[in-house]
Amino acid sequence: MIYRNDITNLRDDIEEKVGQKIIVKGTLGRSKFFEKEATLQKAYPNLFIVKFLLD
């Protein structure tokens, strides 16, 4: 079960990383995955914005 404190701590951790490079990992379906480097641009209470770096 996810508790309110867990989400609050996660938001605080994300807000501290604004402007830093991060690795974004995701799935494309059918056992296809991707991993890209990005910069965390902004963090809102329920949303964060990343800018992908060009290869």
pTM, entire model:
0.70
The H-assigned helical ranges of 1-55 are 4-16
Burial class (CB in 10 A: 0-12, 13-18, 19+), 38: middle
Express each pLDDT in 5-38 by its tens digit: 888 898 899 999 999 999 999 999 999 999 999 9
- Residue 24: beta bridge partners? 36
Number of neighbouring beta carbons within 10 Å of residue 40: 19
